[in-house]
Amino acid sequence: MFRNPVRHITFDAHDPYRVAGFWSEVTGFPVHPDDKEGDDEVLLDPGQPGVPGLLFIRVPEGKAVKNRVHLDIQPTDGTRDEEVERLTALGAAIVDDQRRPDGTGWVVMADVEGNELCIERSAAERGAA
């Protein structure tokens, strides 16, 4: 048993509901049924014991520098490159492209409010290497 399991990973946001919607699409975690547009706090609840939720809290200030913590995403369906395309269509932007000619590497992206995340290769892509 873990001594102090992580309950939530918290993000500051100007528009918590909008950012939560983006991350819901990334993770598949649903928005908590009590949360709605305009709320100051919005929770994505994975509904699985031991898996931390993502909590988005309204703050007045904008993001000024690179995040000191970010999430690394490994696609379960499809490839890294397909996930980059999918997230770009959802409003994410590529910040730094670390893909290498041999297929290794990752892509640093920013969500709809500029929070960084990395897209890694899928398990299938890693297994094929």
Rounded CA gap, 30 and 23, in Å? 9
**Same domain flag for 90 and 50:** no
Looking at the DSSP assignment, which residues form a beta bridge with residue 31? 44
- Give me the CATH number covering residue 36: 3.10.180.10
**Same domain flag for 74 and 56:** no
Its domain, for residue 123, covers 69-129
> In this predicted structure, what is the pLDDT of residue 1?
66
**Same domain flag for 77 and 126:** yes
Of 33, 60, 87, the domain-final residue: 60
DSSP letter, residue 70: -
Q: Encode the chain (129 residues) as per-residue pLDDT tens digits.
A: 678 889 999 999 999 999 999 999 999 999 999 999 999 999 999 999 889 999 999 999 888 888 889 999 999 999 999 999 999 999 999 999 999 999 999 999 999 999 999 999 999 999 876
**Same domain flag for 51 and 73:** no
> In this predicted structure, what is the pLDDT of residue 99?
98
Rounded CA gap, 92 and 116, in Å? 9
Rounded CA gap, 99 and 35, in Å? 37
